């Protein structure tokens, strides 16, 4: 039987909300609720940041043998428009509370593509066994949205994050 893997939006190292086939909304609040509250406000000068978002893989049902090679990537082309960007990085398994503090050391999310994905199991390394059932596996991926004064107001077009893994 094939494994069932989920993508969770994390509120602690091992606590999260299932967002598989769901939506993550960058906002000015630390919660996983997809609503119109706490929007990001375009600054008159410079830029502002959303609260960071962390996602992690969750093994909902085990594989026959193993799961490995966790990868995260975008389609390589930001559809968010001028003045909006998203930064991403692998932060291992060290939890830090989500915050609006500017992320350091991240790279443009859209630089991670199918040809060059973000490695998702460099600290919590695979292969992950059936014994890891009902637990979080791999590393935390932290993202943050930046909104600059040059951004246009209104809702953004959707973007998609892809999570990939190998299974035996």
Partner 1 sequence: MKLAENYSFEVKLTTGEVLTEGGDLTGCVRFSLIPNIPNLPRHDFSGIKMERRFCRAFHRYSMVTQQALPGRLTWRDGSDIIVSTEDLSNFIDVGSKISKNATGQEWYEVEQFTKNMIKLKRPYSGKTQQIGGKMTIKSKPSEYLHCVIFDNFRAYIKSSDGSITITPKDYELYL
Residues that bind partner 1 (CB under 8 A): 1-5, 7, 19-26, 64-65, 69, 71, 73, 80, 86, 114-115, 117, 155-168
d(CA 62, CA 59): 6
At its nearest, how many Å lie between partner 1 and the CB of residue 141?
Answer: 12
Closest contact distance (angstroms) between CB of 28 and partner 1 is 14
Helix (H, G, I), strand (E, B) or coil at 110: helix
- By CB neighbour count within 10 A (0-12 exposed, 13-18 middle, 19+ buried), where does 155 fall? exposed
Give min distance, CB of 15 to partner 1, in A.
Answer: 18
Q: Are 164 and 73 in contact (CB under 8 A)?
A: yes
Contact 130, 40 (CB under 8 A): no
Q: Which is nearer to partner 1, 51 or 165 (CB)?
A: 165
The two tokens of residue 124 are 């919590």
- At 17, list the tokens: 């909300």
Residues written for the chain: 168
Least separation in angstroms between residue 20's CB and partner 1 is 6
Determine the 3-state secondary structure of 33 from DSSP.
coil
Judged by beta carbon, residue 44 or residue 157, the one nearer partner 1 is 157
Please provide the distance, in angstroms rounded to a whole number, between the alpha carbons at the two ends of the chain.
10
| Comparison of 80 and 124: residue with beta carbon closer to partner 1 | 80
Q: With respect to partner 1, which residue has the nearer C-beta, 34 or 94?
A: 34
What residues does 27 pair with on adjacent strands?
none
Which of residues 80 and 146 has its CB atom nearest to partner 1 in the complex? 80
Q: How far is the CB of 49 from partner 1 (least distance, A)?
A: 15
């Amino acid at each position: 039987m094939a494994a069932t893997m989920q993508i969770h939006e994390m509120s602690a190292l091992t606590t999260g909300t299932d967002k598989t086939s769901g939506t993550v909304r960058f906002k000015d609040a630390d919660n996983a609720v997809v609503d119109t509250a706490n929007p990001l406000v375009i600054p008159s000068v410079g830029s502002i940041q959303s609260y960071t978002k962390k996602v992690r893989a969750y093994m909902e049902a085990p594989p026959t043998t193993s799961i490995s090679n966790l990868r995260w990537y975008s389609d390589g082309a930001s559809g968010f428009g001028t003045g909006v960007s998203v930064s991403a990085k692998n932060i291992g398994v060290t939890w830090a509370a989500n915050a609006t503090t500017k992320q350091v050391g991240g790279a443009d999310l859209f630089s991670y593509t199918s040809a060059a994905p973000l490695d998702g199991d460099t600290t919590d390394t695979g292969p992950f066994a059936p014994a890891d059932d009902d637990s979080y596996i791999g590393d935390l991926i932290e993202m943050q949205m930046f909104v600059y004064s040059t951004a246009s107001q209104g809702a953004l077009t959707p973007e998609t994050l892809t999570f990939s893994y190998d299974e035996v």
